[in-house]
Chain A
């Protein structure tokens, strides 16, 4: 186990290094010039040149990247071009909110998605199954912006059950988690349904029935644990999908997470922030996959650590 973890961590570092290099190259290949964003409209060529030199942006790309890596190793993500603040400060002040939302969203999507998937699989071909799959299809295809606003309008404005956006208490977390969770639950219910149907066809389910077990026990003890195995690996991938949706949902609900930070930074070509958020997101994805692998390892006796 230890050797597996060490190996995976080394791999993860390589992945992160790759991500940082690719992002760096892409950002500097952009036609937009960050210096002009900083210097403003009234800047003279002299001012622009001064700023370029101060930020080291006049150096060759390789030199800039090497410097960035050097600072990164010391835990320094640099300073925002436009906010002039430490990127690490900006990210750390927002990361807890995003992680909380992620936890809430994953909980919600698993709760809704797995339940729906199991019910649909058990009643395969019935009206309930068809209805659930239509719901999940809507969940998958509905834009999160619209879903978020709809939930906000119904449950916060009309019914007043939850606050209209914001951050701080549990009730603030419900609607954003639900918005993110509806998309995910659509995916999970479909995957769970097909996985469950697959497992229900397996010989060991027939064995369990031949043993004279109750339907409930067959589903809970035999079908579910097996059907859920392929889903676990998806949770790791899901972290990546989540990072995509976070920008929209955070902005609808005024959730102070890193998605909004990233969005603003992209608008303003604030490269140090974009780099920082990308690396943090990549780290989250890498960790998410690692956690999913470790869970699979713990629950599936067939997977051997090599």
Chain B
């Protein structure tokens, strides 16, 4: 049986309200075309090459310059076809055939074809490209040969006509359509890549709603509207100016002065209360969830954290509500690895409640009635050391004496990648933000056995073979009709994880996007789960005629 899917959305897991789906096609009736906005960032943009860019700053920018075969409905985690008009999945769930839209043009004027899709996937997986996202394509047939250099093209990817692409997988992969919505799967024109060579990241050419107009390194980038954009009527804005090198606190001053529309780095922590206490300013702040969990890893291979009772005791010792206060309440306490807005989140699970006495009792049971000495690694930028101090105090409450090791980000990451170095790590500043909105994304590299290797990201060094098997089983469920069943399996997996307690999930950060008065569009666009800070393609300004 083949599932024929049209432009109506394919949804994994979430019951899709029709109204939301309608947004993808229906235009905002209040939207006005024209005008430009100014967005500021502290850091310069590293690259706009979709195969390379992997920080949250350039992620949304690349999204507006490029398109992949799949996309998300604006403001949601709902998958919709992008450059693919439609696609079919084979019965075994291992062959995907995408029908491409006709007449889609790159910024250089050439029409996109199936060959470009094949080229783009081969490019991103080629080790020479050094793409940090190459690993996402591991389920495509022939990936291993490309990765080890013995082949230069993916055997599983082929064009079956000018507007048709077939992709064969080596194993069932329920997340594959999400992968095809990642920036890494963006379609790039070969001639532009060849012409720019290594500098494609500075001279990007895509099919997106905007094209790069100007880039003055260290000062600004200007995106200009793509008049030939395949989504008719979009984008609304004529241009977006990204001014880089702006301290968040200065960006806020300029926003208040009417010079900036979006402070890309958000509201600076020091000014958060001041802004939120002023009703006029607070009205222009949009709050939303994000696919983020802040957690403490407990190294399950280092005593005494090899003892599950110790790990559970630590879970009970942490006063999460108080830690949330440390960051001005810009988060909600977490009970489990998945954030609440992620499909697969276990509703009604209370987690380990804050209970010092129970924690002490458990610790005594484990043979540590007098506590023990340990170390807590933390990244050295605010507010993480302050959070670490709160954790340290909570631990002291049950007799655990934790020394804080406050280090540069790269050093903490390096310590986490060693089996016997960091007993505890507070993940702040390096925490997991989902690459794509799927429950599986919180497991593999950070809780699965594959990540528990030297240089890996599983800093708990937690490896449960049974759970790995369950995860593989869940991700083999590719039938959209069984999506709920798959999500339940993932929910079960995370509940099992919580029993073993390799983490202390602490909080899920909330997003607060501030905008200028002139900006229009649904609030959801300003807390878009996949486009941080905002979805540039759909927002507009009110002060144009």
Task: Give the B-binding residues of A (Cβ under 8 A).
Answer: 30-33, 36-48, 50-51, 54, 79, 82-86, 89-90, 93-94, 97, 149, 152-153, 156-157, 164-167, 250-257, 260-261, 264, 266-269
Closest Cβ of chain B to A146, distance in Å, is 11
CB pair B417 A36 closer than 8 Å = yes
Select one of B52, B130, B414 contacting A32, CB under 8 A: B414
CB pair A79 B198 closer than 8 Å = yes
CB pair B445 A31 closer than 8 Å = no
Question: Of B19-27, B81-89, B131-139, which binds chain A?
Answer: B131-139
Interface residues of B in 4-58 (CB under 8 A from A): 40, 42-44, 46-47, 49, 52, 54
CB pair B44 A82 closer than 8 Å = no
Select one of A39, A82, A250, A251 contacting B47, CB under 8 A: A82
CB pair B250 A41 closer than 8 Å = no
Contacts of B489 in A (CB 8 A): none
Contact with A along B200-239 (1 / 0, CB 8 A): 0110000000000000111100000000000000000000
Q: How far, in whole Å, are A267 and B42 apart by their CA atoms in the complex?
A: 13
CB pair A149 B148 closer than 8 Å = no
CB pair B198 A85 closer than 8 Å = yes
CB pair B455 A33 closer than 8 Å = yes
Can you identify 17 A-B contacts, CB atoms within 8 angstroms? A36-B417, A40-B54, A47-B127, A47-B147, A48-B455, A84-B49, A84-B130, A85-B199, A85-B202, A90-B217, A93-B217, A165-B246, A252-B247, A254-B244, A267-B409, A268-B46, A268-B410
CB pair A252 B250 closer than 8 Å = yes
Closest Cβ of chain B to A191, distance in Å, is 31
CB pair A93 B218 closer than 8 Å = yes
Select one of B128, B147, B216, B249 contacting A44, CB under 8 A: B147
CB pair A256 B130 closer than 8 Å = no
Interface flag for B149 (CB, 8 Å): yes
Contacts of A269 in B (CB 8 A): 410
With A33-B414, A41-B132 given, name 8 new contacts (CB 8 A). A31-B414, A37-B410, A43-B132, A47-B127, A84-B47, A165-B247, A254-B245, A264-B43
With A153-B253, A267-B409 as known contacts, state yes or no: A167 contacts B219, CB within 8 Å. yes
Contacts of B253 in A (CB 8 A): 152-153, 156-157, 164
B131's nearest neighbour on chain A, judged by CB, is A40
Interface flag for B457 (CB, 8 Å): yes
Interface flag for B353 (CB, 8 Å): no
With A32-B414, A264-B43 as known contacts, state yes or no: A251 contacts B202, CB within 8 Å. no
Q: How far, in whole Å, are A286 and B75 apart by their CA atoms in the complex?
A: 54
Contacts of B46 in A (CB 8 A): 82-83, 264, 268
Interface flag for B411 (CB, 8 Å): yes
CB pair A83 B47 closer than 8 Å = yes
CB pair B135 A43 closer than 8 Å = yes
CB pair A260 B218 closer than 8 Å = yes
Q: How far, in whole Å, are A269 and B409 apart by their CA atoms in the complex?
A: 10
CB pair A30 B411 closer than 8 Å = yes
Select one of B245, B259, B411 contacting A164, CB under 8 A: B259
With A46-B147, A51-B127, A260-B44 as known contacts, state yes or no: A254 contacts B243, CB within 8 Å. yes
CB pair B247 A254 closer than 8 Å = yes
Q: How far, in whole Å, are A255 and B243 apart by their CA atoms in the complex?
A: 11
Interface flag for B527 (CB, 8 Å): no
Interface flag for B62 (CB, 8 Å): no
B201's nearest neighbour on chain A, judged by CB, is A84
- Counted as pairs of residues, one from A and one from B, with CB atoms less than 8 Å apart, the total is 149
Q: How far, in whole Å, are A43 and B201 apart by their CA atoms in the complex?
A: 20
Interface flag for B545 (CB, 8 Å): no
**Closest 9 A-B residue pairs measured CB to CB?**
A40-B132, A32-B410, A256-B218, A42-B135, A50-B127, A93-B217, A254-B245, A254-B246, A31-B414
Interface flag for B415 (CB, 8 Å): yes
Q: How far, in whole Å, are A82 and B218 apart by their CA atoms in the complex?
A: 16
B43's nearest neighbour on chain A, judged by CB, is A264
Q: How far, in whole Å, are A67 and B216 apart by their CA atoms in the complex?
A: 31
Interface residues of B in 153-184 (CB under 8 A from A): none
Contacts of B257 in A (CB 8 A): 157, 164
CB pair B149 A251 closer than 8 Å = no
Contacts of B198 in A (CB 8 A): 79, 84-85
Contacts of A89 in B (CB 8 A): 217
Q: How far, in whole Å, are A261 and B244 apart by their CA atoms in the complex?
A: 11
Q: How far, in whole Å, are A253 and B247 apart by their CA atoms in the complex?
A: 7
Contacts of A36 in B (CB 8 A): 413-414, 417, 455
Contacts of B132 in A (CB 8 A): 38-43
B40's nearest neighbour on chain A, judged by CB, is A254
CB pair B250 A254 closer than 8 Å = yes
Q: How far, in whole Å, are A38 and B219 apart by their CA atoms in the complex?
A: 24
With A51-B130, A90-B217, A257-B218 as known contacts, state yes or no: A44 contacts B410, CB within 8 Å. no
Interface flag for B408 (CB, 8 Å): yes
Interface flag for B330 (CB, 8 Å): no
Q: How far, in whole Å, are A86 and B199 apart by their CA atoms in the complex?
A: 8
Select one of A32, A152, A251 contacting B411, CB under 8 A: A32
Contacts of B199 in A (CB 8 A): 84-86
Select one of B44, B127, B259 contacting A54, CB under 8 A: B127
Q: How far, in whole Å, are A224 and B243 apart by their CA atoms in the complex?
A: 45
B444's nearest neighbour on chain A, judged by CB, is A42
Interface flag for B435 (CB, 8 Å): yes
Closest Cβ of chain A to B271, distance in Å, is 11
CB pair B148 A46 closer than 8 Å = yes
Q: How far, in whole Å, are A90 and B199 apart by their CA atoms in the complex?
A: 12
With A40-B132, A51-B130, A256-B217 as known contacts, state yes or no: A32 contacts B455, CB within 8 Å. no
Interface flag for B254 (CB, 8 Å): yes
Interface flag for B524 (CB, 8 Å): no
Closest Cβ of chain A to B521, distance in Å, is 26
Interface flag for B476 (CB, 8 Å): no
A267's nearest neighbour on chain B, judged by CB, is B409
B143's nearest neighbour on chain A, judged by CB, is A44
Select one of A51, A90, A149 contacting B249, CB under 8 A: A149
Interface flag for B364 (CB, 8 Å): no
Interface flag for B286 (CB, 8 Å): no
Contacts of A43 in B (CB 8 A): 132, 134-135
Contacts of A252 in B (CB 8 A): 247, 250
Q: How far, in whole Å, are A200 and B88 apart by their CA atoms in the complex?
A: 91
Q: How far, in whole Å, are A56 and B199 apart by their CA atoms in the complex?
A: 20
Select one of B134, B201, B414 contacting A85, CB under 8 A: B201
Closest Cβ of chain B to A256, distance in Å, is 3
CB pair B130 A54 closer than 8 Å = yes
B453's nearest neighbour on chain A, judged by CB, is A45
Q: How far, in whole Å, are A153 and B216 apart by their CA atoms in the complex?
A: 26
Select one of B44, B138, B250 contacting A165, CB under 8 A: B250
Interface residues of B in 113-152 (CB under 8 A from A): 127-128, 130-136, 138, 147-149
- Which of A30, A50, A153 counts the most chain B CB atoms within 10 A? A50
Q: How far, in whole Å, are A220 and B253 apart by their CA atoms in the complex?
A: 44
Closest Cβ of chain B to A138, distance in Å, is 21
